Amino acid sequence: MSSQPPHATLLIPGPIEFDDEVLQSMSHYSESHVSPPFVNTFSEVLVMLRKLFQTTDPSAQPFVISGSGTLGWDMVAANLVEPGDEALVLHTGYFADSFADCLETYGVKATQLTAPIGERPQLDDVEKALKEKPYKLITVTHVDTSTGVLSEIKALSELVHRVSPDTLIVIDGVCSVGSEEICFDDWGLDVVLTASQKAIGCPAGLSILMVSGRAIERFEARKTRPTSYFGSWKNWLPIMRNYEAKKPSYFATPSPQLIHALHTSLSQILSRPLSARFADHRAASLKIKKAVTALGLQQLASKPENQANGMTAIYLPEGIAPPDVLPSLVKKGVIFAGGLHKEIATRYIRFGHMGVSVTDAGRGDIERAIGYLEEALGEVGYKVPK
């Protein structure tokens, strides 16, 4: 029985529903950010993140910093590239435009490789692009929250290592870490950046990154100083290393309450095999995608291999707009998100299925949401095609 007051179930692609124990950790009494108990908690968080990202390489470096997923882009742009450097940005929706804008803010030349809405750049096209210029890094949105398109990280990384071995591989995992498999070491990744409030299941307010030893070396060899202060790894690297070694250290004040909540959510995630967690997300996603098809609806992500396991972006039937169904869904007890991709925002809705709503089957969140969606569509005159 949840200790949370009754509320509509939040099934947007982040923030997600949080477990009671995680929310209770948010109320932790006040601690000094340099006290041994807090530093110990922070150390354990960093160690658990290594497990979540499936890295055992001691030269890889986790970072947890107050901010949001977006701050991770700044850290990449300010620490891993220098003004005038070239970056290749793979476009699968809204978030590639923004990451490119961020890179350009720091004087980096960002070239976007696009694909039609609902698709992802093909590996052949990526190979061609990589052969044109020596890109310092390539960025890819693992799951684009605006479209639900899933990128193929493993094959992409193999390609980059083969064709352009000096190009750092940067994954925007804001909407994938915790719901999609990520093998940091095995896949040869350099940065996976994410946030706390999606499949990790901890309230928003933390920027989380895993950075390879190779990327840290690249950072340490840069000729110019990092071009951000709050996001500078020159400032944060010694702090993260000290925290993990349980030594008090200070650059900017972390949020003890959020760190406690992250500790709780990571402990829950790691209490069983990661493979089981990813299988749960795949199973829930399949069930939802089947139901969407049974309702006669299309997804933005048109091919099964392009479809995220933690969210589904659904085209509404002709003549029905998000405001026709979202408010009545809230009244029934479930919150979906509207469209976010500018060109088609008024034509689709987004259904997030990550974390406890998926792993705690007893909640019945997914089944209720599917049922309510069918009801809401019926109420505005939609008839499922026979």
Instruction: Please report, in range form, the residues annotated as the binding site for substrate.
Output: 350
> Closest Cα partner for 326 from 311, 318, 316?
316
- Quick one: 232 or 359, whose CB is closer to a copy of itself? 232
Q: Considering beta carbons, is residue 230 or 315 the nearer one to a copy of itself?
A: 230
Taking the complex as a whole, the smallest distance from the CB of residue 287 to a copy of itself amounts, in Å, to 22
Q: How far is the CB of 252 from a copy of itself (least distance, A)?
A: 4
Of 26 and 274, CB closest to a copy of itself: 26
CB of 78 to a copy of itself, least distance (A): 8
Q: How far is the CB of 261 from a copy of itself (least distance, A)?
A: 8
Angle at the Cα of 6 (from 4 to 10), degrees rounded to 5? 85
Residue closer to a copy of itself by CB (options 255, 267) is 255
Q: Token pair for residue 312?
A: 């589904």
CB of 241 to a copy of itself, least distance (A): 19
Give the C-alpha separation, 198 to 179, whole Å: 9
| Amino acid, single-letter form, for residue 157 | S
Residue of 170, 177, 104 lying closest to 137 (CA atoms)? 170
Angle at 383 between CA 379 and CA 385, to 5 degrees: 160
DSSP state for residue 16 in the 8-state scheme: B
Whichever of 33 and 214 has its CB closer to a copy of itself, that residue is: 33
- Give the contacts of 196 (CB within 8 A, at least 6 positions apart): 202, 203, 204, 205, 206, 208, 258, 261, 262, 265
Residue holding tokens 């809401």?
Answer: 376
Nearest CA among 46, 51, 110 for reference residue 84: 110
Query: How far apart are CB 56 and a copy of itself at their closest, in Å?
Result: 30
Report the distance separating Cα 142 and Cα 140, nearest Å. 6
Q: Which is nearer to a copy of itself, 118 or 352 (CB)?
A: 352
Binding site: which residues? 350
Q: What is the DSSP string of 288-330?
A: HHHHHHHTT--BSS-SGGGB-SSEEEEEPPTT--HHHHHHHHH
Q: 132 to each of 84, 121, 125, how far by Cα in Å?
A: 17, 16, 11
Q: Shortest Cβ distance from residue 277 to a copy of itself (Å)?
A: 19
User: Which residues lie near a copy of itself (CB under 8 A)?
Assistant: 4-5, 7, 10, 12, 14-18, 23-24, 26-35, 66-71, 73-74, 77, 101-102, 105-106, 195, 197, 203-205, 225-232, 250-258, 335, 337, 340
Pick 22 or 160: Cβ nearer a copy of itself: 22
Q: How far is the CB of 275 from a copy of itself (least distance, A)?
A: 26
Q: Which two tokens stand for residue 379?
A: 């109420």
Q: Is 174 exposed, middle or buried (0-12, 13-18, 19+ CB in 10 A)?
A: buried
